[in-house]
Amino acid sequence: MKALVLEEVRGLHLRDVPEPELKTHDVLIQVKACGICGSDVHGYDGSTGRRIPPIIMGHEAAGVVSKVGLDVSSFKVGDRVTFDSTVSCGHCAYCLAGEVNLCDNRQVLGVSCGDYRRNGAFAEYVAVPEHIVYSLPDSFEYEKAALIEAVSIAVHAAKITEIEQGSTCVVIGVGMIGLLAVQAFKYFGCTRVFAVDLEQSKLDTAKKLGADETFLATDPDLFAQLNKAAGGRGIDIAVEVVGAQKSITTAIEAVRRGGKVTLIGNLAPKVEIPLQIVVTRQITLLGSCASAGEYGECIELMESGAIDVGPLLSAVAPLSEGAEWFNRLYNREPGLMKVILQP
């Protein structure tokens, strides 16, 4: 089969590789669409250390069942499906508690971090265990389905934040996940949602997708403006979707006493936090990791229009052009958000 292989830093090549081996509980999926995630781009340039070459990346995908293992009972050849990016074991204490994203034996499709190597979906076929596969409605386009994984990250973060109805929220960083977080946090109970970013174009998109007000991160009066927008009481919830020192500090400083900061971004492995602000304001810091079985709910939210991914889709291209599109995303080409590759 054909696959896009990361063979060295910034070195992607279309290669002929063996078809994945199928275990008894596995489903072999013919990939119809796979999205390029920001984490894939950071893997492409070697900055995260979680895509050690050689590796087939790609974890945001959908396709058609091509083969099933001997013990598979829920799917058959021809079924339209998507699948979780987290490959959980299904039997550890975390999995049994429904916290599959914290699985003791967790692997992630398209990730090679030293502890494991798991090829992903920038290929004609990918094999995944039956228990992480989800059926797609016939009306659901594969290109749209490739964004379910990203939607699930935003939905998971909103749900574990335990939003009180009527809360105010600010999303710091409105790239792909941030724009989905704007929609998810509003859907799950935030009355007013604000967006902060360095780029006006992203803020414009956030406004179209439901942000009540938007603010440039460079605004010297940012905190005063946010406080005013929240009615003078301060922000209840800050959602940080970058994972960098400055944006995390901004999120912490933005919330009121007793407020919550939900951390989704994880670009930098270590950051400093303004400890005295966290302690004296009694701020809750909450880490949100991937998703934990929200795929079915996300499909419903996308089908109903409660979460709109249309404005986020920038381009659809064949897998053979993957290296070019990775390079364009790496160079931060203006206007590019989500690129879908079709094997």
Rounded to an integer, the average pLDDT of 75-98 is 97
User: For residue 301, is it within any domain?
Assistant: no
Among 46, 126, 112, CA closest to 341: 126
User: For residue 298, is it within any domain?
Assistant: no
Among 49, 41, 81, 54, CA closest to 65: 81
Q: Strand 255-263 and strand 284-287: pairing?
A: parallel
Read off the pTM: 0.95
**Is residue 118 domain-shared with residue 134, that is, in the same domain?**
yes
User: For residue 233, is it within any domain?
Assistant: yes
**Is residue 43 domain-shared with residue 100, that is, in the same domain?**
yes
**Is residue 42 domain-shared with residue 159, that is, in the same domain?**
no
User: For residue 314, is it within any domain?
Assistant: yes
**Is residue 55 domain-shared with residue 112, that is, in the same domain?**
yes
pLDDT in tens, 270-314: 999 999 999 999 999 999 999 999 999 999 999 999 999 999 999
CB 64 within 8 A of CB 127: no
User: For residue 302, is it within any domain?
Assistant: no
Residue 133: what residue type? V
Cβ atoms within 10 A of the Cβ of 6, count? Answer: 26
Radius of gyration of the chain (CA): 20
User: For residue 292, is it within any domain?
Assistant: no
Q: pLDDT category, 335, cuts 50, 70, 90?
A: confident
User: For residue 293, is it within any domain?
Assistant: no
**Is residue 171 domain-shared with residue 279, that is, in the same domain?**
yes
**Is residue 109 domain-shared with residue 16, that is, in the same domain?**
yes
pLDDT at 47: 85
Q: How many domains does the chain have?
A: 2
Residue 249: what residue type? T
C-alpha torsion angle, residues 226, 228, 232, 238 (rounded to 10): -10
Q: What does pLDDT average to over the chain?
A: 96
Phi, psi of 58 (to 5 degrees): 105, 115
**Is residue 226 domain-shared with residue 326, that is, in the same domain?**
no
**Is residue 20 domain-shared with residue 97, that is, in the same domain?**
yes
pLDDT at 119: 97
Buried b or exposed e, range 82-103, using 16+ CB within 10 angstroms: bbbbbbbeeebebbeeeebbbb
Among 122, 100, 131, CA closest to 27: 131
pLDDT in tens, 114-153: 899 999 999 999 999 999 999 999 999 999 999 999 999 9
pLDDT in tens, 223-265: 999 999 999 989 999 999 999 999 999 999 999 999 999 999 9
pLDDT at 269: 85
For residue 191, what is the domain's CATH number? 3.40.50.720
pLDDT in tens, 220-232: 999 999 999 999 9
Q: pLDDT category, 267, cuts 50, 70, 90?
A: confident
On the 0-12 / 13-18 / 19+ scale of CB atoms within 10 A, 275 is exposed
For residue 10, what is the domain's CATH number? 3.90.180.10
For residue 338, give the H/E element and its range: strand 338-342
pLDDT at 171: 98
pLDDT in tens, 196-216: 999 999 999 999 999 999 999
**Is residue 206 domain-shared with residue 118, that is, in the same domain?**
no
pLDDT at 49: 84
Among 80, 99, 288, CA closest to 184: 288
User: For residue 295, is it within any domain?
Assistant: no
pLDDT at 233: 86
Apex 111 CA angle, 322 and 99, nearest 5: 125
Using H for helix, E for strand and C for coil, what is the string for 276-314?
HHHHHCCCEEEECCCCCCCHHHHHHHHHHCCCCCHHHEE
**Is residue 105 domain-shared with residue 178, that is, in the same domain?**
no
Q: pLDDT category, 36, cuts 50, 70, 90?
A: very high
**Is residue 136 domain-shared with residue 162, that is, in the same domain?**
no
**Is residue 245 domain-shared with residue 267, that is, in the same domain?**
yes
Instruction: Provide the residue range defining the domain that includes 272.
Output: 154-287
